[in-house]
């Protein structure tokens, strides 16, 4: 190996991977624009990328038909003891998993270049940043990592000779025989895809997929699955949350973190344009928040990422004008349709459907085609700095102080527009029991209800029951500096299938009520499911929307909530004895409230003691 850095352990690991995967060449990434341009030019020449005439420095990729999304059923959290992974994670014992994967890795990079990508999650030098090194045989991954993280020489410098780094090994799993022509999107068959995490070793091994969260290992693998374990160990939190700053007409700032499952409009909310006169919003992050308690005892959040990897279909000037502004140049598009004039297009784009396009499969497409032009999980990769509403403080190494935590999901019925938790422990209960209807972007059968605690079900790197306990502990440490906790549902429909709430920029009206609650300036009614505004408590100035629908969006059907208790009990029961006693207390109190009994009775004493 010709090139080495000053970090001996890193050199040794790279050499180990060279010996195992046997690439034809090794390239250490420096993170420069020149490097990005050279790799992109190579992929264009090989027919893997299409430059877009209509968008400067932007490119379209088409994946293999079988490699279009995260593969949860092939994602593993590997500890010696399955209990540590818990019931919500797939588990294989580390020795066995490593044996299987080492067999696959053996010679898997033959005929390819191996790229070594030093990257930082968080601004280089931030006290909250973590360094990773991804080794990959995909130039597409390198270019995406350039946008999504901070890559290259500054990271190597920050590592020095002995800095700690998280090892992330990735291969598309498609070695080339001498003279063999490469595929447009090389990857392995489904049964040979493995996205494996070894949290005890701060180690990620990914094999067989070149797509998104399976391959850009800084994102879900490091910044959530591995980081959640580190966070618990070190007393902070790694969460699947957007970060938003809301500014009122007086210039007062409120910082909000929101946890929503995939495909619930998290990116849209993070770039919200408030419709209430005088209110402004700035985006700090759209997907992941790292939170720690600052010197003043408050909770501070950073966005560890540097870009957005957003779902393209549905993104438009109506749903997310700021995202559309972000996408004007310097972007990578994956599995969007290609128009004849050299632009991308997707379903629900502002532009009308083109008369002809090449769809995500590379086939001719017309509006009469039965299939969508873009894959429902088609993506854009875009630099966060290009977002028209990015906060000037989005890279503040200390983070921003969080006033409000929001949980939510996509429910067409039962769950009202907005509820405030009665206290921190109730907020943890709301997060732990959060549920959403599934969509094409998170796999499973579309329309099923799935409990997705804290939107972390696919991303928690350890036993979810211990994760709940960590939330309780963080609340104890925060004391009276705890953020207020809310639960929202923008997605209710009435019996005619019409939306009850307009959503998008009008969500600012709900956020305003939250800010007023933080300041003690807004009324709320105590209900069995939490504090709720009446319609008069929401600022609806200038809103052109049927009032009866808003009234309906704030109604609660106690019977419907009671009917879901069995499902909540079943969900919590999967954690067995590991479930914190405080969660059981919350469940009991919730049931009593729904039964119309006082919440503070001696009954809670009969429950087992809180951990
Ligand atoms: O399908 C993928 O690989 C991407 S998944 C993803 C990407 C960006 C932000 N969030 C998600 C997610 O699944 O939560
Ligand atoms: Mn996400």
68 Cα nearest atom in ligand 1: 1
Examine the pLDDT at 445 and tell me if it is beyond 70: no
Could you tell me the distance, in angstroms and rounded to a whole number, from the CA of residue 262 to the centre of ligand 2? Answer: 5
Strand order in the sheet with 344-345: 344-345, 337-339, 357-358, 364-365
Measure the CA–CA gap between 341 and 336, rounded to whole angstroms.
Answer: 14
How many angstroms from the chain centroid is the CA of residue 538? 29
**Residue matched to tokens 């009991």:** 588
Q: CB neighbours of 152 closer than 8 A, spacing ≥ 6?
A: 29, 30, 31, 32, 35, 117, 118
How many angstroms from the chain centroid is the CA of residue 72? 14
Measure the CA–CA gap between 211 and 195, rounded to whole angstroms.
Answer: 11
Could you tell me the distance, in angstroms and rounded to a whole number, from the CA of residue 609 to the centre of ligand 2? Answer: 35
Long-range contacts of residues 393-396, Cβ cutoff 8 Å, at least 24 apart:
393/245, 393/282, 393/284, 394/282, 394/283, 394/284, 394/285, 394/303, 395/123, 396/302
Query: Nearest Cα to 560, choosing from 413, 383, 420, 422?
Result: 413
Q: Hey, which of 67, 73, 220 would you mutate to test ligand 1's pocket, going by the most ligand atoms within 8 Å of its Cβ?
A: 220
Cα-trace Rg, the chain: 24
pLDDT digits (tens, 9 = 90+) for 110-136: 999 999 999 999 999 899 999 999 999
User: How many residues in total does the chain contain?
Assistant: 611
Please report which ligand is nearest the Cα atom of 141: 1
Quickly count: other Cβ atoms within 10 Å of residue 46's Cβ: 12
Atom 11 of ligand 1, nearest CA residue: 262
Residue 62, Cβ density class (10 Å: 0-12 exposed, 13-18 middle, ≥19 buried)? buried
Q: Which pLDDT score is estimated for 4?
A: 85
Q: What are the structure tokens assigned to 562, written together?
A: 């009671």
Could you tell me the distance, in angstroms and rounded to a whole number, from the CA of residue 218 to the centre of ligand 2? Answer: 13
Could you tell me the distance, in angstroms and rounded to a whole number, from the CA of residue 283 to the centre of ligand 1? Answer: 18
Q: Which pLDDT score is estimated for 438?
A: 77
pLDDT digits (tens, 9 = 90+) for 559-574: 999 999 999 999 999 9
The whole-chain average pLDDT of the chain stands at 95
Residue in 21, 264, 331, 336 annotated catalytic:
264
Q: Which pLDDT score is estimated for 324?
A: 98
Query: Nearest Cα to 415, choosing from 527, 525, 506?
Result: 527
Which residues sit opposite 207 in a β-bridge? 171, 194
11 membership: H or E segment, kind and range: helix 8-21
Atom 6 of ligand 1, nearest CA residue: 213
Number of H helices, E strands in the chain: 17, 31
Residue 412, Cβ density class (10 Å: 0-12 exposed, 13-18 middle, ≥19 buried)? middle
Could you state, in order of their start, the residue ranges of all structural domains in the chain?
Answer: 8-30+65-234, 238-303+394-609, 308-386
**Pairing between β-strand 113-121 and β-strand 59-61 as defined by DSSP bridges:** unpaired
Could you tell me the distance, in angstroms and rounded to a whole number, from the CA of residue 203 to the centre of ligand 2? Answer: 21
Atom 5 of ligand 1, nearest CA residue: 213
pLDDT digits (tens, 9 = 90+) for 308-334: 999 999 999 999 999 999 999 999 999
Q: Which pLDDT score is estimated for 597?
A: 57
441 Cα nearest atom in ligand 1: 1
Could you tell me the distance, in angstroms and rounded to a whole number, from the CA of residue 606 to the centre of ligand 2? Answer: 39
Could you tell me the distance, in angstroms and rounded to a whole number, from the CA of residue 309 to the centre of ligand 1? Answer: 7
Give 238-303+394-609's CATH code, choosing from 3.40.605.10, 3.40.50.150, 3.90.228.20, 3.30.360.10. Answer: 3.90.228.20
3-state secondary structure 133-168: EEEECCHHHHHHHHHHCEECHHHHHHHCCCCCCEEE
Strand order in the sheet with 400-401: 237-239, 289-293, 299-302, 400-401
Q: What beta strand segments (E) does 469-586 contain?
A: 484-488, 525-527, 530-532
Examine the pLDDT at 287 and tell me if it is beyond 90: yes
Q: Which pLDDT score is estimated for 606?
A: 30
Q: How many Å is the maximal CA-CA distance in the chain?
A: 77
Q: Are 226 and 166 in contact (CB under 8 A)?
A: yes
Atom 1 of ligand 1, nearest CA residue: 69
287 Cα nearest atom in ligand 1: 9
Atom 14 of ligand 1, nearest CA residue: 262
Q: Which pLDDT score is estimated for 125?
A: 87
- Rounded average pLDDT over 393-421: 97
Atom 7 of ligand 1, nearest CA residue: 309
pLDDT digits (tens, 9 = 90+) for 1-52: 568 899 999 999 999 999 999 999 999 999 999 999 999 999 999 999 999 9
Q: Which pLDDT score is estimated for 604?
A: 33
Ligand 1, CB within 6 Å, residue ranges: 69-70, 211-214, 262, 287, 309, 377
What is 8-30+65-234's CATH topology?
Answer: Phosphoenolpyruvate Carboxykinase; domain 1 (3.40.449)
Examine the pLDDT at 447 and tell me if it is beyond 90: no
- Based on the residue annotation, tell me whether 264 is a catalytic residue of this protein: yes
Share of the chain above pLDDT 90, in %: 93
- Rounded average pLDDT over 572-580: 98
pLDDT digits (tens, 9 = 90+) for 588-602: 999 999 998 554 433
Q: Which pLDDT score is estimated for 3?
A: 81
Please report which ligand is nearest the Cα atom of 209: 1
Which residues sit opposite 525 in a β-bridge? 532
pLDDT band at 584 (very low <50, low <70, confident <90, very high): very high
* Cα→Cα distances 332→329, 389, 498, Å: 9, 20, 35
Measure the CA–CA gap between 206 and 220, rounded to whole angstroms.
Answer: 12
Q: Are 418 and 485 in contact (CB under 8 A)?
A: no
The torsion angles phi and psi of 130, rounded to 5 degrees, stand at: -130, 140
Query: Nearest Cα to 77, choosing from 467, 462, 468?
Result: 462
- Rounded average pLDDT over 234-240: 98
Class of domain 308-386 (CATH, top level):
mainly beta
Measure the CA–CA gap between 592 and 19, rounded to whole angstroms.
Answer: 62
Please report which ligand is nearest the Cα atom of 215: 1
Query: Nearest Cα to 531, choosing from 435, 417, 451, 436?
Result: 417
pLDDT digits (tens, 9 = 90+) for 399-408: 999 999 999 9
Please report which ligand is nearest the Cα atom of 144: 1
Which residues sit opposite 486 in a β-bridge? 406, 420
Examine the pLDDT at 552 and tell me if it is beyond 90: yes
Q: What are the structure tokens assigned to 274, written together?
A: 């408030």
Long-range contacts of residues 174-179, Cβ cutoff 8 Å, at least 24 apart:
174/108, 175/107, 175/108, 175/109, 175/110, 175/111, 175/112, 176/110, 176/111, 176/112, 177/110, 177/111, 178/111
Examine the pLDDT at 603 and tell me if it is beyond 60: no
442 Cα nearest atom in ligand 1: 13
How is residue 281 annotated by DSSP? E
Q: Hey, which of 61, 66, 70, 208 would you mutate to test ligand 1's pocket, going by the most ligand atoms within 8 Å of its Cβ?
A: 70
Query: Nearest Cα to 459, choosing from 240, 217, 148?
Result: 240
């Amino acid at each position: 190996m010709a090139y080495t850095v000053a970090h001996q352990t890193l050199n040794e690991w790279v050499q180990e991977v060279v010996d195992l995967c046997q690439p034809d060449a090794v390239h250490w990434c420096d993170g420069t624009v020149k490097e990005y341009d050279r790799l992109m030019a190579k992929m264009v020449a090989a027919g893997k990328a299409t430059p877009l005439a209509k968008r400067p420095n932007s490119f379209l990729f088409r994946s293999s038909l079988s490699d279009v999304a995260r593969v949860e059923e092939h994602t593993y959290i590997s500890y010696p003891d399955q209990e540590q992974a818990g019931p919500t994670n797939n588990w294989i014992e580390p020795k066995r998993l490593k044996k299987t994967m080492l067999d696959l890795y053996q010679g898997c990079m033959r005929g390819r270049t191996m790229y070594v990508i030093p990257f930082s999650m968080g601004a280089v030098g931030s006290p909250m940043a973590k360094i990773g090194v991804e080794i990959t045989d995909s130039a597409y991954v390198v270019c995406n990592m350039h946008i999504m993280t901070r890559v290259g020489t500054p990271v190597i410098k920050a590592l020095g000779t002995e800095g700690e780094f998280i090892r992330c090994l990735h291969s598309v799993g498609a070695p080339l025989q001498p003279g063999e022509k490469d595929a447009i999107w090389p990857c392995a068959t489904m049964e040979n895809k493995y996205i494996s995490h070894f949290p005890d070793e701060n180690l990620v091994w990914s094999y067989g997929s070149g797509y998104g969260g399976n391959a850009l290992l800084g994102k879900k693998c490091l910044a959530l699955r591995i980081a959640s374990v580190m966070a618990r160990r070190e007393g902070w939190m790694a969460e699947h949350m957007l970060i938003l700053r809301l500014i009122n007409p007086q210039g007062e700032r409120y910082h909000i973190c929101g946890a929503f499952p995939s495909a619930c409009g998290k990116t849209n909310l993070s770039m919200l344009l408030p419709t209430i006169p005088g209110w402004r919003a700035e985006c700090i992050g759209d997907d992941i928040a790292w939170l720690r308690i600052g010197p003043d005892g408050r909770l501070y959040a950073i966005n560890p990422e540097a870009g957005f990897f957003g779902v393209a279909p549905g993104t438009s000037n109506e749903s997310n004008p700021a995202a559309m502004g972000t996408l004007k140049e310097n972007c990578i598009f994956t599995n969007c349709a290609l128009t004849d004039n050299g632009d991308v297009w997707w379903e629900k784009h502002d532009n009308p459907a083109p008369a002809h396009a090449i769809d995500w499969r590379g086939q001719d497409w017309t509006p009469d085609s039965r299939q969508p032009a873009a894959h429902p999980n088609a993506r854009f990769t875009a630099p966060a700095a290009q977002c028209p509403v990015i906060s000037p403080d989005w890279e503040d190494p200390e983070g921003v102080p969080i006033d409000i935590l929001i949980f939510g999901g996509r429910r067409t019925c039962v769950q009202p527009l907005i509820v405030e938790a009665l206290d921190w422990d109730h907020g943890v209960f709301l997060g732990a029991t959060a549920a959403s209807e599934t969509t094409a972007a998170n796999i499973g059968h579309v329309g099923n209800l799935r409990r997705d605690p804290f939107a972390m079900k696919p991303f928690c790197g350890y036993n979810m029951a211990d994760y709940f306990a960590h939330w309780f502990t963080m609340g104890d440490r925060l004391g009276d500096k705890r953020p207020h906790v809310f639960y929202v549902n923008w997605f209710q429909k009435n019996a005619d299938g019409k939306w009850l709430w307009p959503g998008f920029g009008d969500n600012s009206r709900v956020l305003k009520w939250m800010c007023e609650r933080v300041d003690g300036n807004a009324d709320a009614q105590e209900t069995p499911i939490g504090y709720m505004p009446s319609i008069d408590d929401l600022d609806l100035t200038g809103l052109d929307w049927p009032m009866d629908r808003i009234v309906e969006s704030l109604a609660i059907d106690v019977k419907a909530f009671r009917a879901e208790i069995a499902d909540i009990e079943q969900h919590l029961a999967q954690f067995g004895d590991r479930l914190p006693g405080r969660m059981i207390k919350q469940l009991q109190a919730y049931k009593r409230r729904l039964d119309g009994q006082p919440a503070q009775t001696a009954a809670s004493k009969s429950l087992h003691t809180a951990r």
